[in-house]
Structure 1
């Protein structure tokens, strides 16, 4: 749905303490749209052809995203039942007020409350029960290639963002839904409000700021895996915790220590990590360590032996040998190459 136009003179005022959204912005989102007014008058449900053109109810990105854009934001249409459907894009729903109920894959009921985020990949089929006037939701509609751009703008080296990127954008994914409870996460709330604000007030003509904001939002969510709901489908929360553990403790991390913290057998965790990521715990840990080693070599003058120790390798001979196998050059050559061409 297209958001109603707003005057260009609107000024952003931060929400007061205890509020989850700017009052003026929320007032705009509560307005009844033309489509909703027609639904209230005719009571004949949504017009399927508005969203889809084929036999399967596949919501087409070309009908809901503006020309030339990789992402768009729209209000969720209230007063209507959305029958079971999927999308050819990634959909993110955020509930600003009230609650909105989804039924995932024909069997799992998920109720989103104020401050909840729901990510749905392209294979996840869902239906949405009618929302009332006080149930305000926003759809963030994202083409898969957008995530590559968003994460690329933030740089490389985060195995958690790599994993989420793979899960959301792979060509033939299994159904995946991720539900986050973010009402008490102020940084996340601020980023979402920025996205909604720019959509309502047409404040971001080329989309680049929204891309960066979305990248920051995803990274914030990955920092707060505790906000991921048990209602999520197609994702083992233990795997996300393992990836976060590697990110934060790569120098001393071990599968044995992580398994003890989870009170689960190492073999069980190892299988879950490999199933979800395609890599073993050891491979992910090594990838993170060498990414950090490269960053230190290129951006500091710390001796190579100290770099090796800092990322978790006490055996410098092994570090040198593996570094050359991975990058085709020695750690010293990596540092010299970066100094010769600082833009690489």
Structure 2
């Protein structure tokens, strides 16, 4: 453990000093503007950022509440006891708990040596991860699927518990994140975003390593085959050809893809074609018509319309913007 970081985190915050001086109720005005149900609001902490890191207040029980953001609890030192959807959860040093924005939990008071760090994460941050950490079509689509499996967007309360105290990689990332939190610099926010992205990827991998559900494994294998097919045949990809390769009906393939990715087969093919078109636009001297034909579009007007929907500009305007920037 970093002794300097530990000493810094032991220092009482203004909120903790008020509790020690006799304030025995959580000051809800710090957390929400609502007067009825206790929903902690991201606007109270995030301002214009996507992530905020703060130490959980010690010495007091925290009443039942939910959030309008995704929260991550990390036990830096000691233990942390809470009830999540009425289920007792006991975290020890090094453990991580992820909670989506639809779940309620109540927290037991931490002692002086119990140091818990709360990560307040705007849901939009996960779009940021996808756009910055996925390097290609297969990686992007698989990462999207994995994130959907981590954060179920059907508005039901969910949490994920990670007993990762023995993971040197994850603990090293957490240590770096806390240093950026405590010893702020001009690049801290950027570093925190990328380190958090790496942490999420490590947690996804950890989840896969411990996943014993054979259904989940078969789903991953199926999607890998789908994405690889599109990668190799995007110019003339069609559902019937994929179905034949998978020895299934086109109807079954279509339903599975929609259920697992929340996208249609046509959408996935289009995603790949436009990614290739963008790269040809940047790195080749091909004409717009040649690029459209190269990625599988005979109708150049249709290609222009799809490209603008995806990237916000026509291909010509997009390339001009890149040249001038």
TM-score, normalised via structure 1 length: 0.62
Question: 1:97: Cα distance to partner?
Answer: 1.1
Which residue matches 1:192?
Answer: 174
Which residue matches 2:39?
Answer: 58
| Structure 2 residue runs without a partner (length 5+) | 230-254, 281-295, 304-318
| Matched residue SS, 2:118 | strand
- CA change 1:126–1:160 in 2 (3 A) is farther
- CA change 1:59–1:229 in 2 (3 A) is farther
Question: 1:176: Cα distance to partner?
Answer: 1.2
Task: Give 1:74's match in structure 2, choosing from 54, 61, 80.
Answer: 54
Question: 1:209: Cα distance to partner?
Answer: 2.3
| Matched residue SS, 1:102 | strand
Asked if the contact 2:32–2:39 (Cα under 8 Å) also holds between the matched residues in 1, the reply is yes
Task: Give 2:145's match in structure 1, choosing from 157, 160, 163.
Answer: 163
Which residue matches 1:173?
Answer: 155
Asked if the contact 1:103–1:109 (Cα under 8 Å) also holds between the matched residues in 2, the reply is yes
| Matched residue SS, 2:89 | strand
| Matched residue SS, 1:144 | coil
Q: Which whole-Å deviations, capped at 9, do the CAs of 1:263-298 have from their partners, x for residues lacking one?
A: xxxxxxxx9998776589xx8xxx79x97xx99xx8
Moved more, 121-130 or 156-165: 156-165
Q: Which whole-Å deviations, capped at 9, do the CAs of 1:227-252 have from their partners, x for residues lacking one?
A: 7699xxxxxx6565456556888879
Question: 1:161: Cα distance to partner?
Answer: 2.7
Which residue matches 1:137?
Answer: 116
Alignment coverage as a number of residue pairs: 266
- CA change 1:88–1:242 in 2 (3 A) is farther
- CA change 1:41–1:185 in 2 (3 A) is same
Which residue matches 2:25?
Answer: 45
TM-score, normalised via structure 2 length: 0.65
- CA change 1:121–1:99 in 2 (3 A) is same
- CA change 1:200–1:86 in 2 (3 A) is same
| Structure 1 residue runs without a partner (length 5+) | 1-20, 231-236, 253-270, 300-322, 330-340
Asked if the contact 2:144–2:261 (Cα under 8 Å) also holds between the matched residues in 1, the reply is no
Taking the aligned partners of 2:28 and 2:53, their CA distance within structure 1 comes to 20
Question: 1:34: Cα distance to partner?
Answer: 2.2
Which residue matches 1:182?
Answer: 164
Taking the aligned partners of 2:258 and 2:197, their CA distance within structure 1 comes to 25
- CA change 1:82–1:162 in 2 (3 A) is same
Higher share in helix: 2
Which residue matches 1:208?
Answer: 190
Taking the aligned partners of 1:246 and 1:224, their CA distance within structure 2 comes to 20
- CA change 1:204–1:123 in 2 (3 A) is farther
Which residue matches 1:225?
Answer: 207
Taking the aligned partners of 1:273 and 1:27, their CA distance within structure 2 comes to 51
Taking the aligned partners of 1:97 and 1:242, their CA distance within structure 2 comes to 38
| Matched residue SS, 2:21 | helix
Asked if the contact 1:144–1:168 (Cα under 8 Å) also holds between the matched residues in 2, the reply is no
RMSD: 4.3
Which residue matches 2:66?
Answer: 86
Asked if the contact 1:180–1:228 (Cα under 8 Å) also holds between the matched residues in 2, the reply is no
Taking the aligned partners of 1:203 and 1:103, their CA distance within structure 2 comes to 36
Question: 1:138: Cα distance to partner?
Answer: 0.5
Which residue matches 2:132?
Answer: 153
